[in-house]
Structure 1
């Protein structure tokens, strides 16, 4: 690499391409245009005297040299970011920074719009990206700074990360009143008597199905959909039901025709975690983001918990 000609801004472009494997997604990640990223890639190739990323049918694949330097560049950028942030402060009202929040189990459906609305009030020029990240990929996404923080229902202990519990949730059943009503509080037999629509990601990681198997029960899964957002449309046309976290169920109850029934106490209460990497903890911008999201999440989850308790108490 010709270091005398190397622009440090190119390191950010390299790392965006390294993580995204796409010029388009790298441009979105950096809030740049695609031509700007393509131009930066050409400069990177000239500096490194290597192709770095080779376009294939499905993605931009890194060369052996790119794999060799990726970790060093990532560590160097982190050291520089940490050094600069130690003596600075983050002003949300004047910042133009971009943040990425990773989430799973549909937490972005409930918290994302609220975070976005509040962000416009306190940090009008900050850009927020919400990204779905499964539990298995969350530790790597945090370690490689693909996301700035994570919202998760997983009980997994992630290495080199700090977790803060921001609330609890229970599973509830959602259904459409045009296709057979359910009581406000369903039994296990009523729950397993109807066909279910399941989120595709839950086929790999489903706490609820794990608990059912412990009871010696399997539910009738007839349809798999990509996300929680598909459920209202699918349930409006069939007698199927879906089991979802209560924060999703009450959101649907407030915004669609779907109804909510609570489940037996045996399915218990589960925690919601806010997770951040311990790498780069002196980053004042990320520290602000953590406090900002935590305060919103705690208030919102508390409201959902109160609503859920009210429903259960009326029907137990």
Structure 2
């Protein structure tokens, strides 16, 4: 951006653009900014001239961003955090006074237990913040890169963008989830036994075409896995386990409130584990909010994992 372009830029208009993107309605945007609708329309006209794009098109109940506008909107949360860092950099981040959003994406198979402990911890330290705890989805990698989500918890390591940093938090063993009356429960539960079972796999969005770790282990030992189902929804997998002879490998952290007819069992041979890691933007692009949040997420996860190990 050259100096002339920078001097022409009105950051209040960027705030208007952000709020219009959130509300998708000029009246609600005007109410949030304490402006009249004509003032919002005038601001939108300036934005359209500045970006040389329609930005928003009218629809029945409001406005819809153009693809170009959506690309800008995806980058604005990160921009406003950086601007806040620039102008408030001398002040220490205060979680008790923070009223923005704190967002963490969590792998589906470990979402249930971690979302509870994260909420309890973060809500106590940042009572004014809006806590956004979401399942790791199709757009999560991009959302972390552009600042829409602060950080994520997932298996480690992942094949993801080099613009994201990964930090290993723990090593966790695998268990097998199945119907409590399944023959696998009373078998020796060797890899050979597992290879003979129909397998349901909970896959991560964006990684559906890659083999699961258990598939790799079975193939490396000369067995051909019988994959019956691949799904990115935990509820689908659990429903299949209830109604069929399928089994599902899960992380030891898997702590879903299983129905009475499902159980977790160990493999009787080998020591098969996976890492769990923290994913975030690289340190030189991280704002005080993200630095504080990632430190809290890491602290809470390690305490949760340590407590589980002690209980076992």
Which TM-score band applies after superposition, normalised by the shorter structure?
0.7 to 0.9
Q: How many residues are aligned here?
A: 287
Return the offset for 1:71: 9.2
What does residue 275 of structure 1 align with? 279
Equivalent residues of 1:86, 1:282 under 8 A apart: no
**CA offsets 1:126-171 (integer angstroms, 9 cap, x no match):** 212123335x855433221121011121313642433332211122
Higher helix proportion (structure 1 or 2): 1
The aligned counterpart of 2:89 is 86
Q: Deviations over 1:14-70 (max 9, x none)?
A: 7xx4xxxxxxxx45xxxx9896359888566322234214589xx85424xx48967
CA distance in 1 between counterparts of 2:47 and 2:272 reads 56
Structure 1 residue 244 corresponds to structure 2 residue 243: no
Q: Report the Cα distance in structure 1 between the residues aligned to 2:141 and 2:76, rounded to whole angstroms.
A: 20
Assess if the C-alpha contact under 8 Å between 1:168 and 1:270 holds in 2. yes
Matched with 2:150 is 148
Over 3 Å counting, the alpha-carbon distance change for 1:234 and 1:67 in structure 2 is closer
Match of 2:55 among 52, 55, 63: 52
Cα gap change, 1:184/1:109 in structure 2, threshold over 3 Å: closer, same or farther?
farther
Are the equivalent residues in 2 in contact too, given 1:149–1:274 (CA < 8 A)?
Answer: yes
Matched, 1:10 2:9: no
- Go from structure 1 to structure 2 and tell me whether the alpha carbon gap of 1:61 and 1:181 turns closer, same or farther (over 3 Å shift): same
Pair 1:129 & 2:121 matched: no
What is the match of residue 262 of structure 1? Answer: 266
The Cα offsets for residues 61-86 of structure 1, whole Å up to 9 and x where unpaired, read as 424xx489679967754541220341
In structure 2, the residue matched to 1:294 is 298
Distance in 1, Cα, partners of 2:44 & 2:92? 35
Bigger mean CA deviation after superposition, 268-277 or 150-159: 150-159
Deviations 1:275-307, CA, capped at 9 Å, x for gaps? 221266562222221121111100112234456
Equivalent residue number for residue 36 of structure 2: none
Return the alpha-carbon distance in structure 2 between the equivalents of residues 34 and 240 of structure 1: 51
Q: 1:101-147 CA distances to partner (integer Å, 9 max, x unpaired)?
A: 1233523222111111223322222212123335x855433221121
Distance 1:90 1:154 in 2: 29
Provide the C-alpha distance between the structure 2 equivalents of 1:13 and 1:85, rounded to a whole number of angstroms: 22
- For 2:226 and 2:75, the matched residues in 1 are separated by 50
CA distance in 2, matches of 1:112, 1:122: 15
Matches within 5 A, 1:50-129: 50-54=53-57, 60-63=65-68, 66=69, 77=80, 79-104=82-107, 106-129=109-132
TM-score (norm 2): 0.74
Alignment of 1:216-231 (within 5 A): 216-231=222-237
* Consecutive unaligned residues in structure 1, runs of 5 or more: 18-25, 311-316
